[in-house]
């Protein structure tokens, strides 16, 4: 029975690297995969999943209007798709996560979704919330706070490195905009930002 997997972590934990390694493992064995990434993420080349350590692979971009299931089912009919891999899964809509579950349940295609669990305020993203509810397996990819504890939160910072407590849920950025912290340091930094 195929499963829907949600691999989640804080920023800079290696989610894209893990996804690209999983994709390589399938392709090395002669199995076809389909990769998806969020159209909103414009940090690297368009229609590409890129990791900070230099790995990259072409991917189909998705936005809120993309029918992922229809795209995969069409390709699967033309030639067996062994696995679907989704990067930046926090940007999926709840309906798209339902489509991923449908692919696993009805078409027997394993789906590996990689993304953030929470935003810079500690609130769930829509896609992550639905994945937490529906995924057959929840796998945390570990990252480390500067204090040595497990980093589970994503602190947004401004150009001067100061914590940001307000703003749009989605603002694309990497190390220049976000710092992965343990809950204790995240809470303290957010409280300080709110006092300013």
Known binding residues for Zn(2+) are 145, 147, 182, 185
Which pair of structure tokens corresponds to residue 132?
């937490």
Cα dist from 141 to 7, 19, 131, 169, 185, whole Å: 7, 11, 15, 22, 19
List, in order, residues 6 or more apart from 147 with CB less than 8 Å away: 182, 184, 185
DSSP annotation of 99: H
88 classed as catalytic: yes
Task: Enumerate the known binding-site residues for ATP.
Answer: 9-16, 87-90
List, in order, residues 6 or more apart from 76 with CB less than 8 Å away: 107, 109
CA–CA gap between residue 183 and residue 6 (Å, rounded): 21
Which pair of structure tokens corresponds to residue 67?
């029918």
CA–CA gap between residue 7 and residue 19 (Å, rounded): 9
Which one of 28, 74, 88, 192 is the catalytic residue? Answer: 88
In three-state form (DSSP H/G/I as H, E/B as E, the rest C), the secondary structure along 121-167 is CCCECHHHHHHHHHCCEEEECCCECCCCCECCEEEEECCCCCECCCC
Residues involved in catalysis: 88
């Amino acid at each position: 029975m195929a499963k829907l997997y949600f691999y989640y972590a804080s920023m800079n934990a290696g989610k894209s690297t893990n996804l690209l390694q999983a994709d390589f493992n399938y392709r090395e064995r002669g199995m076809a995969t389909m990769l998806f990434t969020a159209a909103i993420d414009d940090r690297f080349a368009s229609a590409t999943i890129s990791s900070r350590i230099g790995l990259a692979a072409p991917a189909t971009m998705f936005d809120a209007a993309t029918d992922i299931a229809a795209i995969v089912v069409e390709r699967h009919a033309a030639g067996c798709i062994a696995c679907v891999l989704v990067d930046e899964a926090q940007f999926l809509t709840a309906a798209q996560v339902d489509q991923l579950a449908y692919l696993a349940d009805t078409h027997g295609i394993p789906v590996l979704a990689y993304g953030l669990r929470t935003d810079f305020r500690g609130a769930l993203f829509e896609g992550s919330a639905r994945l937490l509810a529906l995924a057959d397996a929840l796998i945390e990819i570990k990252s480390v706070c500067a204090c040595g504890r497990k980093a589970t939160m994503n602190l947004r910072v401004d150009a001067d490195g100061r914590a940001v407590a307000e703003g749009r849920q989605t603002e694309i950025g990497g190390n220049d905009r976000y710092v992965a912290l343990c809950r204790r340091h995240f809470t303290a930094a957010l409280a300080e930002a709110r006092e300013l």
